[in-house]
Amino acid sequence: MKELNGRVAVVTGAASGIGRALAARFAAEGMSVVLADVEQDRLDEAVREVGQTGAPVTGVRTDVSRLADVEALAGRAIERFGAVHVVANIAGVESGAPLADIPLELWSWVMGVNFWGTLYGCRVFLPLLRQQPEGHIINASSVAALFGNASTTAPYVASKAAILGLSETLRHELAEAGEPIGVSVLVPGPVDTRLPDAERNLPEGVPAMSGHPARKALLDMLRGLGASGLPPDAVAAMVVAAISEDRFYILTHPEHAAGFLRPKLELMGIADSAAAPAGGLA
């Protein structure tokens, strides 16, 4: 997509972090923006702030792990703006423990928000994008999809790897069919977001893992990396550039991605390894 002005974007996870920054950047580009998030108070605040720019905006409380919520989000977008041109599936959560200690309810929550939320976003909005001359989908993966060596992160790593595979396949299918819909996968390294505090949105009945002894050191590391990481505004600028260039990979830290891939290639016996840089989830 070469022109964003006058188009309509839907952003999930828009109440904080990368989602909020992306909603603001889309508004600055002249787009109408539908902001979606599960946190109503923060969503209302984000809608007010983005709306103060003069951009047409609306907010829809959405639990992306629920298909009915995503369908309602799409319905609200069409009702309010009549079309959708860009869908950014940014909502994500992170939690975990050593694999044997992770309750299945926690797996369901992380996979539900991260993977199923992304899949629902693609399935529900793709027919709407096909009604337009062109469109674009952005799915949020992570360098964690390339780096499975962070203990206590199995649900997050698995979900983000699944998003990467889903996005690669979707892009191939759309290109093979000659459809004018681009797909980009966002692969962030350390970014200053609230991801380490994702358990603030734990559903009822899902046990918290942040107090697990094996988690404390990791969460402290992630908070430190985030505080010194990229600001979400910088990531939003990268996403807008990738849309205009129809670029698939959006790597906030290319050096981390390369460093994480080299050991995998060595394990396959096809490349020498270089030490992976210190990094974390995003």
| pLDDT per position as a tens digit, 234-265 | 999 999 999 999 999 999 988 878 888 887 88
Distance of CA 78 to the CA centre of its chain: 22
What integer pLDDT is reported at residue 147 of this predicted model?
80
If we measure between CA atoms, which residue out of 181, 180, 191 comes closest to residue 251? 191
Distance of CA 142 to the CA centre of its chain: 8
Catalytic residue among 81, 109, 147, 156: 156
Q: 8-267 is classed in which CATH architecture?
A: 3-Layer(aba) Sandwich (3.40)
Average pLDDT rounded to a whole number, residues 162-182? 98
Q: Does residue 229 surpass a pLDDT of 90? A: no
Angle at 185 between CA 269 and CA 137, to 5 degrees: 150
What confidence tens digit (pLDDT) does each residue in 99-128 have?
999 999 999 999 999 999 999 999 999 999
Integer Cα distance of 220 and 242 in angstroms: 32
H, E, C per residue of 95-115? CCCCHHHCCHHHHHHHHHHHH
Which phi-psi region, left, alpha or beta, contains residue 269 (left: φ > 0; alpha: ψ -120 to 50)? left
What confidence tens digit (pLDDT) does each residue in 40-61 have?
999 999 999 999 999 999 999 9
Q: What is the mean pLDDT of the chain?
A: 93
Task: For the chain, give the percent of residues with pLDDT over 90.
Answer: 78
Active site residue 156: yes
* Whether the Cβ atoms of residue 139 and residue 249 lie closer than 8 Å to each other: no
Q: Does residue 274 surpass a pLDDT of 90? A: no
What integer pLDDT is reported at residue 272 of this predicted model?
58
If we measure between CA atoms, which residue out of 118, 62, 132 comes closest to residue 88? 118
pLDDT band at 275 (very low <50, low <70, confident <90, very high): very low
Integer Cα distance of 203 and 220 in angstroms: 23
Q: 3-class SS at 60? A: strand
What integer pLDDT is reported at residue 138 of this predicted model?
98
**Burial grade of 234 (CB within 10 A; 0-12, 13-18, 19 or more):** middle
Q: pTM of the predicted model, to two decimals?
A: 0.92
